[in-house]
Structures are given as C-alpha cells and as structure tokens.
Amino acid sequence: MYLSSKIYRMKKFITGYILFFVSFVALSAQDQSSLDRCMSLAGTNAKYLKDFRIQLRDGKQGAEMRFTSAISLSKGMIYRFTLCNEGNSKGKLIMNLKNSSDKVVLSSWDEKTGSMKVNLDFKCKKSGLYKICCDFNNGQAGSGIAVVSVLQ
C-alpha cells in the first residue's frame, strides 16, 4: 500500500513537471514571435539592445505613465524605440523618454496631429541614465513590447 502511494505521488510530480515545462516552452515561443514581429518593424538597420514587456490593467486617464524603467544611453549613438501592441490590448502603447532632469526628450504621441508613432529615433546628445515611461492611451488596459535598438 505504501509503495503504491509513493508511485502515485511520483507520477503526479512527473506529470506536473512535464505540464509546467511544456507551458513554459509554449509561452517562450509566443514571446519570441512577438519580439520578432516587433523587431521586423524596427527595420533591417536596427540592432536589438533591449526590450520591455508591458502589461497593464485599466487605470486613470491623464494620470502619470504607469510603467517606468531606466536605461543608459551613450552620446553620439542613434537609438530606435519601436512600440508594438499585443492583440488583446484595448489601448495603443505610448512612450515618453525622459532625461536625468525628468524632461521629456522624445514622445510617441504627436499632440499636433493627434497620432502615435510606432518607431521613434533619438540621437543621444548626452550620455547618462534616461527613463522610459510607457502606458496605454487613455489609461486603458493592454499589453505590448517596447524594443530599444541602435541604428547602424
């Protein structure tokens, strides 16, 4: 009786491990395909540096951007920021890049035309830490990827 319960627990453990592994591989493949799709929008002259996965629930409209992360940029380099939405997003991914003085130096939202850009190029004039701030328009829920690449 004791041996059969050990075998049962071992089978349960192995089954759980296999399910976890298969789920992990499937999610990794999905994440990679989303990243590949986003990188294709960046262009052939863009060399991948880093990506930020953003997933947010509904929030307050007009509030501060809900996702922030620091990134170090070097003077003289031209960086491309590419923004991609996932299919289940209610809103469109928007981004601001702020310098060390917390001043917006680049934005995907063009107030004059009311449009959002997918690719943003930034020629860095001063090396240092910058802050990437992202959200979905009108505080809506969504998921997406912001890819940082350097132009060659």
Q: How far is CA 48 from CA 80, 93, 105, 149, in A?
A: 9, 19, 21, 4
Distance CA 42, CA 56 (A): 23
Q: Are 100 and 21 in contact (CB under 8 A)?
A: no
Ordered by where they begin, the domains of the chain are 34-151 (2.60.120.380)
pLDDT at 63: 66
Lowest average pLDDT, out of 30-34, 68-72, 118-122, 136-140, goes to: 30-34
pLDDT at 152: 81
Pairing of strands 109-110, 115-116: antiparallel
pLDDT at 80: 98
Provide φ and ψ at 76, rounded to 5°: 90, -10
Q: How far is CA 110 from CA 33, 42, 104, in A?
A: 29, 19, 13
Instruction: Render pLDDT for 43-57 as a digit per residue (tens, 0 to 9).
Output: 999 999 999 999 998
